[in-house]
Amino acid sequence: MEVHLMNEHDDQQLPDTREVILPEEASAEPTPEQAAGKAAALLLAQAIYDRTAQNLVAPLKWIRQLKLDGLDDEKLSELLSAVDQGQACEELKDTVLIKGKKDSYYFDASIMTPEFARVQALIEDKDMLATIAEVARHDSSLYPRPAPFSKFSGYPFRFSVDEIEGAAARMQLSEAYRDIGVVEASNGAKAFYSSQSLSKNYARALFQDIEVDSREWQ
């Protein structure tokens, strides 16, 4: 049997002749144009964030009026178009678009829910019937419970009692809101509900319990 004996040179490593290639892009400095574009995107993102932090959406008309440094109409359109198409840059990755009837609205999804943003967009659009219907459908489906008339008198809606009563009457005549109904508790309080999620009897029972029975028990 042949036995190979190691000599003193066998354990020496051969020199590594592989060529090490450093990617040029990783070490390259951004061009002035790229740096300016990043700075403009950051300014836009901050403006939308600040607006969202006030519990408001940012209408496109409002954004255009800001006249942010380094953000001309062409660059603004380019950045927002990318957001609209779901291809936003890193600086605007949390910015979301809601298309309204009267304008486009943007918000920062890191600090505002889509549901609240949709309601805010409807308020900005001054579409009272759509606003009430959106909330009634949401509350009837999620909780589930009717949405009291009194809810729409407070923040963020601030509708008057007459406006709410008028909206309830007009919705009964519109095909778009045929699922929206009104129930009344024994104390005279009223609420909107959606028949997509609640029957009228169940909505009435829920509202009676919330508005009257639970309060009497307390």
Contact 55, 108 (CB under 8 A): no
Q: What is the dihedral of CA 145, 137, 168, 59, to 10 degrees?
A: 130
| Residue range 53-73, pLDDT digits in tens | 999 999 999 999 998 887 888
Of the listed ranges 2-6, 83-87, 96-100, 192-196, the one predicted with least confidence? 2-6
| Residue range 175-210, pLDDT digits in tens | 999 999 999 999 999 999 999 999 999 999 999 999
What are the extents of the domains in the chain? Answer: 31-118, 128-217
Cα–Cα distance for residue pair 128/191, rounded to 1 Å: 15
